[in-house]
Amino acid sequence: MEVMQASCAISGGGPAGMMLGLLLARAGLEVVVLEKHADFFRDFRGDTIHPSTVGVLGELGLRDAFLGLPHTSIRALDAVVDGTRLHPIDFGRLKPPDDFLVLAPQWDFLTFLAQEAERYPNFRLVLQAEATALIREADVVRGLVAHTPAGGLRVEADLTVAADGRDSVLRAAAGLRPRRFGVPIDVIWFRLPKPGGTQPSTLAYLGGGAMVITIDRGDYFQAGLVIAKGGIDGLRAAGLPAFRSAVAGAAPFLREPLETITDWESLKLLNVQVDRLPRWYRRGFLAIGDAAHAMSPAFGVGVNYAVQDAVAAANVLAAPLRDGPVDLRLLDAVQRRRLPPVERMQRIQLAAHRRITKPGGGPILPSPPPPALRLAVAAATPVVQRFTARLIGRGLRPESVAPELR
């Protein structure tokens, strides 16, 4: 079995794991990141890089390089509700220069972080390495064990971080159990070619008892249909024509592109869950990102909360790790920093699912809306935009990279 030594061993090469690995490597620490796949290419993952994350990249001097990658910059996102176009989100109301949203494939974002981290000789990314167990001495975690194509791998570390997603193997190995919250929806993701004509940047279409998400990927849409939790079997039984009808009922302009969906293999089910750990750490061990708190896709904040977890952890732990294992009080400080905004955002997401995105409900707005309602919406829009720009774009507790880590 191969044996490696590190200050920090990180399981999971997603946004939380890669950002934490980069930050700790920049601080001069020996870092090993294990990713179970051979690359970062997985479709239908979170692709929204919010202003908060663009700001973090700016603090690291990486903003311009990242924005040099293929991407779409968006300052405003609309929603079409029962045929009425609303303008609820305007990131232009944030303080520049980070006053826009970036749509970029997550694999490009993760590859970018990996390439930047690999500039440091003290950073190592091991692909096709799946963490399977923790190394323990009494009640202290001393590293992890992984399986690779070449055989077993043992990484001995002062700190082991679980950033291996909402079904985290290491979280379970540490004896940490999340509290799960009932979510009434799942999402079916699929690709659609863009129809003729130009549509304003639109986050979602609600109508006909359905909600459809549209993410602009340049020459096609990454689209999602919100369905009732566990409703995939009923949808399959009704057949593809019923699926196309449900999508077109909310977004009629997609009716023609929907004809390109000819088999169920084109559709990918996201089993939506919201959970969080009451406790994120053990001696020598910390969980962050989805391993600590699975977020709903509502508002697309999952990637950015994972990045903010990584920034908070690096700010607190980088200097102490230079001297070896860190005190429990420091691990607790990371949780105390990040848990309150996670809790509040999850409550907002769950409320949105109960009141807005739950499929099968009746109309939200009359169509067409009466003049009085149109005036009320117009008057409320600037207030709503200021609130949503902050809530979604920056987050409830945005993190800033500590000066000594920049």
- The string of pLDDT tens digits covering residues 90-125 is 999 999 999 999 988 889 999 999 999 999 999 999
The single residue listed with the structure tokens 């249909």 is 225
Q: Is the pLDDT of residue 380 over 90?
A: yes
User: Over 80: is that where the pLDDT of 41 sits?
Assistant: no
| pLDDT value of position 159 | 98
Amino acid (one-letter) located at 37: H
Tens digit of pLDDT for each residue in 130-144? 999 999 999 999 999
Q: Looking at the predicted structure, is the pLDDT value of residue 346 above 80?
A: yes
pLDDT, mean of residues 262-277:
93
Residue 328 has pLDDT above 90, yes or no: yes
Question: Which residue did the predictor score with more confidence, 198 or 154?
Answer: 154
**Predicted pLDDT at 353:** 84
Residue 120 pLDDT: 97
Whole-Å CA distances, 230 to 185, 187, 248: 8, 10, 21
The DSSP output letter for 334 is H
Q: Indicate if the pLDDT at residue 44 is higher than 60.
A: no
Q: What pLDDT does residue 38 have? A: 87
CA of residue 183 relative to chain centroid, distance: 17
Q: Which residue has the higher pLDDT, 216 or 15?
A: 15
pLDDT above 60 for 4: yes
Model pLDDT, residue 43: 62
- The full set of domains in the chain, from first to last, is 2-42+105-181+275-357 (3.50.50.60), 185-270 (3.30.70)
Question: Of 197, 220, 222, whose CA–CA distance to 212 is shortest?
Answer: 222
Q: Which candidate, 140, 116, 120, 123, places its Cα nearest to that of 34?
A: 123
pLDDT bracket for residue 195 (50, 70, 90): confident
Query: Is 128 a residue whose pLDDT tops 70?
Result: yes
Q: Which of 183, 193, 191 is nearest to 227 (CA)?
A: 183
Which residue shows structure tokens 């639109």? 202
Helices (H), 271-356: 302-321, 328-352
45: pLDDT strictly greater than 70: no
Q: Between residues 320 and 361, which one has the greater pLDDT?
A: 320
| Residue pLDDT, tens place only, 284-300 | 999 999 999 999 988 88
Q: What is the rounded CA–CA span in Å between residue 147 and residue 169?
A: 13
What whole-number distance in Å separates Cα of residue 332 and Cα of residue 374?
A: 49
- Which sign, positive or negative, has the C-alpha torsion 273, 298, 197, 248? positive
Mean pLDDT of all residues belonging to the chain? 92
